[in-house]
A and B are shown apart, each in its own frame.
Chain A
Amino acid sequence: MELLIKNGVVYDPTNKIDGEVMDIAIKGNKIVDKVDEFKAYVIDASNKLVMAGGVDLHSHIAGPKKNTGRMLRPEDHYKDFELKTKVKRSGGGYSTPSSFIIGYRYAEMGYTTVIEPANSPIKMLHCHHEFRDIPLLDKACFVLFGNNWFVWEYLMDNKIDECAAYVAWVLNATKGYAIKIVDPGCVEAWKWGDVEFLDILWGRPETIDEPVPRFGITSREIIRGLCKVNKRLNLPHPIHVHANGLGTPGNYETTIDTMDCVKDLAEEDRPIMHMTHVQFNGYGGSDWVNLRSGAYEIMKYVNVNKHVAIDLGQVIFTDTTTMTGDGPFEYRLHRLTKNKWTNADVEVESGAGIVPMHYKRSSSVHAIMWTIGLELALFAKDPWRVFMTTDHPNGGPFINYPKVISWLMSKEARQRILNKIPKRARTKSNLESIDREYSFYEIATSTRAATAKILGLKDKGHLGVGADADVSIYDIDPKEIDPSKDYKKIRKAFSNAIFTIKEGEIVVKDGEVVKSIDGRVYWVKPDLPSDLMDAMESELSEKFEDYYTITMENFQIPERFVARSTPIPAYYG
């Protein structure tokens, strides 16, 4: 099919298009130079905002922890459900939505690509099962490596090549996309319930140099090792790091140390580390009473150090469910809040925890958290390295993105909230003194162009010829609207795209899903010298069943179990 989006006001930062009125032509599933206007289906986009489909690089949408979160919270589903229609399956859930409606809700906001950021290798088939049931989105999954015995043993022996071969093997076997590191060292310690070790570490800058009991490796060594592995494999995305000490007052120093620990490995001006949901790792002060924002210090570092990129993990005042591969953090949160708690340690490699959470405007701590996320974005000199997320559902469900966009675009919108939070919280951050407001160009950068770029998805996040025909059209006239004043309109427009086009097909019209198609699943297929691979595999096969309770053959997921499998090659060297 051919499609012509006529006279839209286009924001396409990748191609340096900043609000130009122009046509976008689509043929099949690609953007093309032009189409025959008389044959093509024409969408009149005059006075409408046109962007590439949204690309979310960190949102917990699929896999064991997501599903356990659903199981844990039937009360989250009772009040928020969706009816079956001619094109849609039914479902429910606000912070833990069922699979189908994740696809619908993202598409309705104009998003077309979403990345699941944390799955255990041994349970990756589960993630692929759920991916099959998330329509309308292209997807990929990051794989947890930071507490993996095999990785640690290679790194302790300083065997970077072998470690790279192992990581490559796992990515290929599980059809994963990138290296995720969560609370390195501490997850293993938590598997012994080693709260003493964790207490020593939490919130202290020395954290990353404390040897893990029984193993002796440090967080610094794990992160650096995997960063080297990542470079050697030339993976499309840098190491994706959830730093130590998450959710602890004073942790911003650990966060800076963690970013700094790979600085010398950087070449060129390309990020080699993505530091995720930094709001949760951006706390100053030494306890919950004197908690303050550490966003200024963090951004001072990020702004001048191009080897790192971050996402926000913005908090929304709402009821949500926290879920992370950071089991020890969730245990602490459970002890702190007394809320119900699920833990799920996974042999050899990882773990997870889940605790429901209600962020309240009236709580100083929660309000400070809310300011930190926004400060991070507003202090950013380079929106190409700072991305909008809520770490769905940890900071809040993804359907609140339009709110975050409005806060970024309007000081008045922020001030309205600031006026309602506790005074103490207002004094603990710089947010109130920041005048900056994001432009549409910067929003397009932070929610599409830059995220696609750091994911290494070259055909995503932009509207140049050859790009995937994923487009969103919003009902705002950027030339007319003043986002600073009309932030409610901004919110409304970004909540429901008037058109979402996925691979050249109109899937959302007037904010409603009109067609459901399956999305792709990207994964990385590294190409390594076969002698290196063979040696690693034979060593691995000797240890495999001593470590795991399943066989090496059953660990590997055949491609036919992956919906619309789309391997991306990566070349060793």
Chain B
Amino acid sequence: MATFEDVVCPICGCLCDDIVATVEDNKIKGVKNSCSISATKFLNYHKHRLTSPLIRKNGEQVPVNLEEAVEKVAEILTNAEYPAIYGMALSSCEAQGLGVELAEEVGGVIDNQTVTCHGPTALGMHDMGMPTCTLGEVRHRADLILYWGSNVEESHPRHLRRYSVLSKGRFRKEREERKMVVIDVRKTASARPADLFIQIEQGQDYELMSALRMVLQFDEIEEESVAGIPVEKIEELAELLRNCEFGILFFGLGLTMSRGKERNIDAAISLVRDLNKWAKFSIMPMRGHYNVTGMNEVTTWQTGYPYAVDLSRGYPWYNPGETTFVDILRRGECDAALIIASDPLAHFPKDVAQNLCKIPFAVIDPHPSVTSLVADVVIPSAVTGIEAEGSAYRMDAIPLRLKKVLDPPSGIYSDEELLQMVLEKVRSMRG
């Protein structure tokens, strides 16, 4: 029996790095410090696996050897005019770098799950910048913690305890020294631990933020309520924000994916900027997939842009709204794809998903998915962070090392190794 300490949990953007895993006979027998999502994953990751490479022949996915599958992937990408490589928010940074390289080699688009979560956050940042900090800063200093459009208790179960309201910091030892505010359209599980819950009308985030900014500047608001919230309550909130020492605004998909999108983010950043006149105030997106932050980082240092990068011109070109995987599928321009550790058919709008079904595409994934069922080639991969090592970035961009605690099933390789094989194959085909 072997015990692995300081294992990094490869699930959500909290990237908790204190998991203890016990391994016997190449199986995980138990985990400590995990939340329930994490425990479930560690104990069940080996179930429902893809076991063999598959290629669709005469309409059926049939098992083939790895070499044939890699060759087929390379062929699909090489024969395409405008291919895309998509996903990798659940891959290591080392694999992600190879994904970008492959997209450059075949002259296609490299994009990731940011397009369906925090794309607007990136755009907001391009416009305004982003005053932020690491989670340890929140832990040590924050006396006002605001979750906006994020059901943190369900999406990031250990966030409160490890990094925010319930954590113990140098300057904040007790729960009473902090105020927690939750703003959401529903009274979610995260509202329970909050000192103040504000229920906002669907799609009214921008209005509420503008009202808050006005109140902070001591402007009069004519209406009796904004976003379904009485003005007195908005004033109360504004006072809380203004009078804290160190505030943090965590925001989730409730803000990025509701009406307004990047306008919401611009408003949130403006609000935080304003608040710095009275208090130290920071803002941080609640990133979901454990290494979507890493994918943004890698894509940025290699190409200059965080997602939706078009490399078909021989240099990086970026114009979200035109160059995302969703955009090029919707317009019917994308003619082949490689999808890595992602299930776009389950998440994309219907018209886009339909277009994906019309083109040849391959999937690399440890597990079967809606997308893998339709794919022309499927290559099973190791579960990164359990069966393969590498790097990942926490939601606050702290890089951590994912651990390999046991071997993948025989004949199964990591994303990193598989992408290297595909890249080499593509290069040999192109001569």
Interface residues of chain A, those whose CB is within 8 Å of chain B, are 62, 64, 66-68, 70-78, 81-84, 89-93, 96-100, 122-123, 125-126, 129-130, 133, 149, 190-193, 214, 331, 334, 340-348, 351, 354-355, 546-551, 553-554, 557-558, 561
Within 8 Å CB of B401, what residues of A? Answer: 125, 554, 557-558, 561
Instruction: Determine which residue in A70, A76, A342, A347 has the highest number of CB atoms from chain B within 10 A of its CB, and name it.
Output: A347
Within 8 Å CB of A99, what residues of B? Answer: 301-302
Question: With A64-B397, A84-B315, A549-B163 as given contacts, are A340 and B128 in contact (CB-CB < 8 Å)?
Answer: yes
When C-beta atoms are compared, the residue in chain B nearest to A553 turns out to be: B6
User: Which positions 266-300 of chain B face chain A at CB distance < 8 Å?
Assistant: 273, 276, 279-282, 296-298, 300
Question: With A90-B315, A191-B280, A344-B132 as given contacts, are A123 and B126 in contact (CB-CB < 8 Å)?
Answer: no
14 sample A-B contacts, Cβ–Cβ < 8 Å, listed by A number: A62-B301, A74-B126, A78-B318, A89-B104, A91-B315, A99-B302, A191-B133, A192-B141, A193-B246, A193-B280, A346-B137, A347-B137, A347-B139, A549-B139
Give the distance to chain B from A79, nearest Cβ to Cβ, in Å: 12
In angstroms, Cα B300 to Cα A66, docked, is 10
A192 B400 Cβ-Cβ under 8 A:
no
Within 8 Å CB of A550, what residues of B? Answer: 17, 398, 400
Within 8 Å CB of B281, what residues of A? Answer: 193
Give the distance to chain A from B416, nearest Cβ to Cβ, in Å: 13
In angstroms, Cα B18 to Cα A347, docked, is 18
Question: With A82-B315, A193-B280 as given contacts, are A93 and B132 in contact (CB-CB < 8 Å)?
Answer: no
Instruction: Determine which residue in A97, A149, A190, A343 has the highest number of CB atoms from chain B within 10 A of its CB, and name it.
Output: A343
B132 A77 Cβ-Cβ under 8 A:
no
- In the complex, which of the residues B17, B127, B133, B314 contacts A90, with contact meaning CB atoms closer than 8 Å? B314
- In the complex, which of the residues A74, A133, A554, A561 contacts B301, with contact meaning CB atoms closer than 8 Å? A133
Within 8 Å CB of A96, what residues of B? Answer: 304
Tell me whether B157 is interfacial, beta carbon within 8 Å.
no
B314 A83 Cβ-Cβ under 8 A:
yes
In angstroms, Cα B93 to Cα A92, docked, is 20
User: Which positions 163-220 of chain B face chain A at CB distance < 8 Å?
Assistant: 163, 168, 170-171
Tell me whether B162 is interfacial, beta carbon within 8 Å.
yes
Give the distance to chain A from B149, nearest Cβ to Cβ, in Å: 22
Give the distance to chain B from A172, nearest Cβ to Cβ, in Å: 16
| Chain A at the B interface: SS class | mixed
- In the complex, which of the residues A72, A93, A549 contacts B162, with contact meaning CB atoms closer than 8 Å? A549
Tell me whether B122 is interfacial, beta carbon within 8 Å.
yes
Chain B contact patch, size range? 35 or more
Q: Mark B387-424, 1 if CB is under 8 A from A, else 0.
A: 00001010001111100000000000000000000000
A89 B101 Cβ-Cβ under 8 A:
yes
Within 8 Å CB of B128, what residues of A? Answer: 340-341
B104 A84 Cβ-Cβ under 8 A:
yes
- In the complex, which of the residues B133, B162, B300 contacts A346, with contact meaning CB atoms closer than 8 Å? B133
Question: With A191-B137, A192-B245, A342-B131 as given contacts, are A551 and B300 in contact (CB-CB < 8 Å)?
Answer: no
- In the complex, which of the residues B276, B316, B400 contacts A554, with contact meaning CB atoms closer than 8 Å? B400
When C-beta atoms are compared, the residue in chain A nearest to B14 turns out to be: A549
Instruction: Determine which residue in B101, B122, B140, B171 has the highest number of CB atoms from chain A within 10 A of its CB, and name it.
Output: B140
Tell me whether B252 is interfacial, beta carbon within 8 Å.
no
Within 8 Å CB of A64, what residues of B? Answer: 397
Within 8 Å CB of A192, what residues of B? Answer: 141, 245-246, 280
B318 A74 Cβ-Cβ under 8 A:
yes
Closest 9 CB pairs of A and B: A347-B136, A193-B280, A345-B133, A340-B129, A125-B399, A77-B304, A343-B131, A342-B129, A553-B6
When C-beta atoms are compared, the residue in chain B nearest to A149 turns out to be: B170
In angstroms, Cα B400 to Cα A551, docked, is 10
B301 A70 Cβ-Cβ under 8 A:
yes
Tell me whether B334 is interfacial, beta carbon within 8 Å.
no
A67 B136 Cβ-Cβ under 8 A:
no
Give the distance to chain B from A303, nearest Cβ to Cβ, in Å: 40
In angstroms, Cα B300 to Cα A76, docked, is 13
Within 8 Å CB of A214, what residues of B? Answer: 171
Within 8 Å CB of B5, what residues of A? Answer: 551, 553
Question: With A344-B133, A554-B17 as given contacts, are A125 and B391 in contact (CB-CB < 8 Å)?
Answer: yes
